[in-house]
């Protein structure tokens, strides 16, 4: 952790830190309580409300973002641990004029119903596809020594199992991810 400045206060008062977060390619400076989650920093302090607060306990995946390219539940990570790290939220993946391939596939395959979990699903899928490119296996990977990891429906389902869709749009989510990965 490369926290810029920690300010100790008298007993009974909270301790704050100055952070320099890089979010969606932009440097942002914040003074935050040490206990502030990355989720609350994004939503309440930076007004990036695409990242959703579902369970606030790391169980649903609605708050998934990418930290240094890895998918993370932002509700379970303190903002102070993200100082000097690259954070990408759903707002940083694409624009209305140029959707990220996963965003376009979710629209094409109707990979959402109410849409609440969709930002976390898409960020998780982006991280999952990056894991696959790096050759990281999952619990259902058949050939652990393969030079190229095969992306099949069971791989997508296993790798996305930390993201819950209360509307049960799973078949469409899987189809969208396979399509975005060029495997539909």
- CATH number, position 106: 1.10.150.120
Q: Looking at residue 8, what is its pLDDT? A: 55
CATH of residue 77: 3.10.20.30
User: Mean pLDDT for each consecutive 10-residue tract of the chain (184 residues)?
Assistant: 52 81 96 96 97 95 97 97 95 94 96 95 97 91 82 95 95 97 73
Alpha-carbon span 101 to 181, nearest angstrom: 9
Among residues 42, 74, 93, the one where a domain terminates is: 93
**What dihedral do alpha carbons 180, 131, 156, 125 form, nearest 10°?**
-50
Name the strand (E) or helix (H) holding 156.
helix 153-159
Among residues 93, 120, 145, the one where a domain terminates is: 93
Q: Looking at residue 152, what is its pLDDT? A: 92
Among residues 66, 93, 120, the one where a domain terminates is: 93
Alpha-carbon span 60 to 58, nearest angstrom: 6
Q: Looking at residue 23, what is its pLDDT? A: 98
Q: Looking at residue 147, what is its pLDDT? A: 75
Same domain, 61 and 86: yes
Q: Looking at residue 1, what is its pLDDT? A: 47
Q: Looking at residue 142, what is its pLDDT? A: 87
DSSP state of 7: E
């Amino acid at each position: 952790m490369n926290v810029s400045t920690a300010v100790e206060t008298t007993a009974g008062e909270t301790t704050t830190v100055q952070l320099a977060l890089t979010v969606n390619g932009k440097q942002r400076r914040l003074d935050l309580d040490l206990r502030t989650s990355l989720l609350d920093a994004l939503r309440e302090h930076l007004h990036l409300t695409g990242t959703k607060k579902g369970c606030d306990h790391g169980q649903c995946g609605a708050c998934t973002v990418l930290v240094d390219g890895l998918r993370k539940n932002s509700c379970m990570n303190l903002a102070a641990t993200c100082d000097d790290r690259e954070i990408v939220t759903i707002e940083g993946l694409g624009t209305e004029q140029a959707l990220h391939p996963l965003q376009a596939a979710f629209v094409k395959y109707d990979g959402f119903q109410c849409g609440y979990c969709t930002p976390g699903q898409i960020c998780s899928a982006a991280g999952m596809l990056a894991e696959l490119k790096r050759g990281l296996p999952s619990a259902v990977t058949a050939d652990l020594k393969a030079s190229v990891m095969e992306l099949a429906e069971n791989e997508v389902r296993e790798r996305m199992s930390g993201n819950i869709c209360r509307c049960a749009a799973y078949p469409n989510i899987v189809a969208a991810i396979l399509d975005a990965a060029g495997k539909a």
